[in-house]
Amino acid sequence: MDRFYLILGLPEDGGAISREAVRAVVSRENKLLMVRTNWGSYSFPGGGVQSGESHEEALCREVSEETGYVLSRVGDKLGEAIERRADRCDAGAVFYMESHYYQCEVSGVMTARQLEDYEAALGLEAVWIDLESALVANETLLNGTGHVHPWVYRETNVLKELKRKG
C-alpha cells in the first residue's frame, strides 16, 4: 500500500507551535481499533511523542494508556497527516501537528487504561468498528452544527485515505 501524505489547514507563516504524534492503525476481522468519545467521534489510538521517545515506544505507551491493549508489533508506516490551524492559546501563532500513522497489531494481553483528565472527560472508550461506520459517524459530526474537536477533521481524512487505498 502506498503511503498517504495529507496537509490540512493554514499555511505555515509566522510563529508555529509544533507537536509530533503517532497513531496506531490496528485491524482485525475487517474492523479497526479506534477510540470513541462520548459525543460519537472516532479516532485512532495514539498521541504525542515525548522527548527521547521513539515512535515505537510512543505507540506502545499511547495504545496501552488509551485502550488497554498491548501492541505486539509496530509495522509499516502508512502515512502522515500534517495539521495547521490557529493556536487556541497564542493569538497569531499557528498550531502545527505532524501525525505519523503505523500499521500495528495487538496481543491478547490487556492492561488497565490510564486516561488523562481530558480523555476521561471525553469518555474515551476503545471500540472495534468497521471503517465505513467510523467514517459515516465522523462525517455526520462534521456536517452538523455543533462544536467538533479539530482532530475529527484529521481522522476523517485519514479514514478516507485508508478507504481509497483499500
Q: Supply the mean pLDDT for the chain.
A: 90
**Tens digit of pLDDT for each residue in 75-130?**
999 999 998 877 677 767 777 889 999 999 999 889 999 999 989 999 999 999 99
First-to-last alpha carbon distance for the chain, in angstroms, is 8
Report percent pLDDT > 90 for the chain: 69
Neighbours of 32 (CB within 10 A): 21
pLDDT of residue 2: 76
Nearest to 79 by CA among 47, 46, 102: 102
pTM metric for this prediction: 0.87
- Domains belonging to the chain, first-starting first, are 4-165 (3.90.79.10)
pLDDT of residue 95: 77
Top pLDDT among 39 and 135 is at 135
